[in-house]
Structure 1
Amino acid sequence: MKYVTIPFKMNVVYALLALSFSFLDCKKGDDPVTPVPPVVKPVDPPVYAAPFANVPATKDVVMYEVNLRGFSKEGNFKGVQNRLDSIKALGVNVIWLMPINPVGQIRSAGGLGSPYAVKNYKEVNPEFGTLEDFRTLVKEAHKRDMAVVIDWVANHTAWDNPWISNKAWYKQDANGNIIIPPNTNWNDVAALDYNNQDMRKEMIRSMKYWVLAANIDGFRCDAADFIPYDFWKQAIDTLKTFKDRKLVLLAEGSRTNHFNAGFQLNYGWDYYKTLKEVFKGTQPDASLFTTSSQEMTNIPSGSTKLRFTTNHDETAWDDTPVGLFSGKRGSMAAFVLASYMGGSTLLYNGQEVGSTKKLSFFDRDPIDWTENPDMVAEYKKLIAFKMGSEAVKEGEIIKVNSSDLVVFKRVSNNQEVLVIVNTNNSESTFAASSELVNVSWKNAMDNKDFTLQSSLKLQPYQYYILSKK
């Protein structure tokens, strides 16, 4: 980073003047006034590389979240780089890396510390490698037509972040003590105060730094609901000044005004919660249609929800998809609904091999990539079919009545896809109407012709995806 500095001789003059005024103004018992240091004006770093040209449209996003500590035995950027081909083979076009910054050690939350306790916004965690290692990872992902977004923690910092010396940048209690984020137990972090304009400007400069210095393609913004709308608007408007760059912007939150601020994606929390309840049997199948419709209401064109069956928080603190949705078959049925009933798709590392490990992000805990190759193949087919079908990505959702199954069509122009999912741990039968029976279908999973009978039996958690010929 470059700085503009005041010449040495002028510094001496300013310092002497400041000291003389301090002496004249002091009254008995007053603390002496500390001289104000010279102002430094940080400028943007030079552009490191040409922008990535193939950032996907929002409707085409298939995002893959990487927990660096658990992704590989190396637990670093190189470990991710070594598996880029495997990630690409799933059909992924956006990689989301959990925070890459150094981790605070004061009031640490345990283990290696939380990656969400950021010690420095403009540095790379040496645990993961160097800036050059990170640049190489981004470059190699771009070679494989995958964009890279990084986790951005704007709500709080670690207690040993250099920003802490600017007390006015943080929320404080009545006694003037910096506090943790209100209504949380996040004792390892200090809450930032978005009433402070200087802090806002430095936060935006830090975001710009990674776009310019490492050629990243966007941000997943942590705890976005905690942060004022007007800051996100300010930050995204600034990022949009990069006219030659397209950025993927995901808010971890559910506020509708995230889209007004410029985010293209935010979390499909309501759908995820309903999905879990349906598989537990505590809500009817039909509630998925209601929740999905409500969640998609008032979303502007070009924006959508990110739908998922897990992420790093859910896997660590709740359970894996295999645990939440009653085994391998249930987890796949849930994924079909999450990815085929609207929105963009998220995968969390290890999900594709059906890992049952509650993967930590406070410690090294490598995934076993040899598990369940059959599930990997199934995820690939499901994602590939969705990506090749405008009906699944953008088509109208038409609910098909069924007593104990989730059945719907996705229709776009002359394309029609029929999705039938058994969310129960028991055999169920779909009574197909003559309108559906008298259609020539293909099974999307094997690309073979499929004759739909008036009565179709589905085993526990079985599903069909049929494409009109």
Structure 2
Amino acid sequence: MKTVSTIAVTLLFTILFSCTKKDNPPKVDPDPLPPVAFTIPQTRDIVMYEINLRAYSNSGDIHGVTMGLDKIKSLGVNVIWLMPIYPIGELHSVNSPYSVKNYTEVNPEFGTLRDLQTLVSEAHSKGISVILDWVANHTAWDNSWIDHPDWYTRDANGNIMIPPGTNWQDVADLNYDNQEMRLKMIEAMKFWVDTADIDGFRCDAADMVPYDFWQQANEALVGFTTKDLIMLAEGNRNDHFSAGFDLNFSWDFYNQIKKVFNGTATPASLYTVNTSETNNVPVGKEKLRFTTNHDESAWDATPMVLFHGKSGALAASAIAIFMGGVPLIYDGQEVGVEEKIPFFTNSPINWTLNPDMQDIYVKMLQFYSSSEIVKMGAMTTYDNASVVTFLHRLKIDEVLVIVNTKNAPISYSIPNDLLNTNWTDALTDDAVTLGNQLELQPFEYRILKSN
């Protein structure tokens, strides 16, 4: 009887163990998809589009972005930046995608690793690069790394801290004096290049992470892949470029263009900021120019509010796109969303808004993409109290941009060296002759190319 009982218990244990293994198979990442023949654009040729997954589509996921690739490509975009796709921490959570629970998984809210691989493959087939938002400064409190307290910044009592100088209660600050943590961070970055064929990273809060780590990470990535990865620093430290970044943010330009359109600064001040920002940028590197991004549209206001409506938003974009640097468009900007766009919650964009505005963005960005004059030409600026005017010249070819920054009609006196010159409107193909005066409507802009 005892032997029978032992056999029965053993059999029951075997059945239960087998069921457990079947019901909970080990996690296996899908194999990478076959690579698509594709060339990452040179830094100066980038037109970047930022995607908030929770806003871009009704489904709020990676598949929704894949379905929108043709529309994105029609803008002249050749790089998309995905906001963080990783599982979000649940401890002290505000549901921010910048609170990363696991650096090497896709948040089920957004889909699967295969969905990401498919997006990247489809994007590459359309000539579009994909870069991921990388959060290196901090993790969620329930990230498994928290089991290594020495990987984090701690106070005098040994307690792990939030990032100093912030009120970011949902995240724990990483300690870059710890070499083991550094290597784990770099290993996670390599994972996405290897597994999803990612084309680079936009590095969040880059000013808060030490220079020598960024240098170490960039050197490691260069040695890891033959791809010329796109590395974008969210910051404006000059040492980002020597650390290996290709681009960083034009925060000073963004703040100054707001002042110009609000009437608290002159066009000449914008020229000064443009020069000061670009003077120290090495050859082959660029500043990222924008009139909004996810932070500004969530916490500040959208361009429709900041720049006083559709005409003002387009006028500001004409300056940001054509004055210099690499242009960034944030999803919803091109259709003139007025309400703030959150990224802690889902808020799908109404893509039926302002189709005329979207058409203009398409024309602006397509002309920008095709114009070596704008990207490579020497720039001349012209002073006026209300009108931003600058000219790009490459050999004998020129592009002239004139923007009324006021919400009022302006009779603009044409600068002497532009008197009686003939042009073609780059957006309409209309012939334009500049006489002594140019009557500009509120926030009117003209983008002209030489005949």
TM-score > 0.5 by shorter chain: yes
Q: Secondary structure at the match of 1:359?
A: coil
> What secondary structure does 2:159 align onto?
coil
Quote how far apart the aligned CAs of 1:437 are: 2.5
Deviates more, 1:289-298 or 1:380-389: 380-389
Counterpart for residue 37 of structure 1: none
Aligned residue type for 1:170: Y
Identity of aligned residues (%): 53
Partner of 2:360: 378
For residues 332-351 of structure 1, the C-alpha deviation after alignment (integer angstroms, 9 at most, x for no partner) is 00001111111000000000
Partner of 1:99: 84
Residue 55 (structure 1) aligned with residue 71 (structure 2): no
Aligned to 2:51: 66
Q: Which residue of 2 aligns with 1:29?
A: none
The aligned counterpart of 2:138 is: 156
Find 1:82's aligned residue among 64, 67, 79.
Answer: 67
SS in 1 for 2:236: coil
1:402 partner amino acid: N
Measured after TM superposition, the shift of residue 251 of structure 1 is 0.2
**Corresponding position of 2:351:** 369
Question: What residue identity is the alignment partner of 2:208?
Answer: F
Query: Contact (CA 8 Å) 1:51, 1:245: kept in 2 or not?
Result: no
Q: Deviation at 1:454?
A: 1.0
Q: Report whether the alignment pairs 1:333 with 2:333.
A: no
1:342 equivalent in alignment to 2:321: no
Report what 1:41 is aligned to: none
Is the CA contact (8 Å cut-off) linking 1:342 and 1:394 kept in structure 2?
no
| Superposed displacement of residue 434, structure 1 | 4.5
- Whether contact under 8 Å (2:38, 2:125) holds in the other structure is no
* Counterpart residue type for residue 158 of structure 1: A
Which of 202, 227, 235 aligns to 1:220? It is 202
Deviation at 1:448, TM superposition (A): 2.1
Check the 8 A contact 1:100/1:115 in 2, yes or no: yes
Question: What letter matches 1:397 in structure 2?
Answer: M
* Alignment match, 1:24: none
Alignment of 1:122-271 (within 5 A): 122-271=104-253
Structure 1 residue runs without a partner (length 5+): 1-44
Q: Secondary structure of 1:85's match?
A: helix
| 121 and 52 in structure 1: CA distance in 2 versus 1, 3 angstrom threshold | farther
Alpha-carbon distance in 2 for matches of 1:454, 1:124:
59
Unmatched segments (≥5 aa) in structure 2: 1-29
1:397, CA displacement in angstroms?
A: 1.4
Point out the more displaced range, 325-334 or 390-399: 390-399
Give the whole-Å Cα distance in 2 for the aligned partners of 1:239 and 1:291: 33
Query: How far apart, in 1, do the equivalents of 2:34 and 2:170 lie?
Result: 35
2:255 corresponds in structure 1 to 273
**Given the superposition, is the C-alpha separation of residues 52 and 108 from structure 1 closer, same or farther in structure 2, using an over 3 Å criterion?**
farther
What one-letter code is carried by the residue in structure 1 that aligns with 2:169?
N
2: distance between equivalents of 1:52 and 1:286?
A: 45
* Runs (4+) off by over 6 Å: none
* Alpha-carbon contact 1:236-1:261 (below 8 Å) kept: yes
Deviations for 1:180-217, whole angstroms, at most 9, x for unmatched residues? Answer: 00010000000000000000000000000000000010
Q: Shift of the alpha carbon at 1:273?
A: 0.2
- Selected match of 1:464 from 443, 446, 451: 446
> What amino acid maps onto 1:71 in structure 2?
Y
CA distance in 2, matches of 1:267, 1:57: 17
Q: 1:418 to 1:323 in 2, by over 3 A?
A: same
SS at 2:421's partner residue?
coil
Corresponding residue number in structure 2 for 1:39: none
Structure 2 distance, partners of 1:447, 1:387, is: 17
Q: 1:413 Cα shift?
A: 1.4
Q: Note the C-alpha offset of 1:440.
A: 2.2
Secondary structure of residue in 2 paired with 1:286: helix
Q: Normalized against structure 1, the TM-score is what?
A: 0.88
Deviation of 1:46 (Å): 7.9
TM-score normalised by length of structure 2: 0.92
The alpha-carbon deviation at position 284 of structure 1 amounts to: 1.2
For 1:69 and 1:438, the matched residues in 2 are separated by 51
Residues 1:442 and 2:424 are matched in the alignment: yes
**Number of equivalent positions:** 423
Please report how far the alpha carbon of residue 52 of structure 1 lies from its aligned counterpart in structure 2 after TM superposition: 5.7
Find the residue that maps to 1:430 and give its secondary structure.
strand
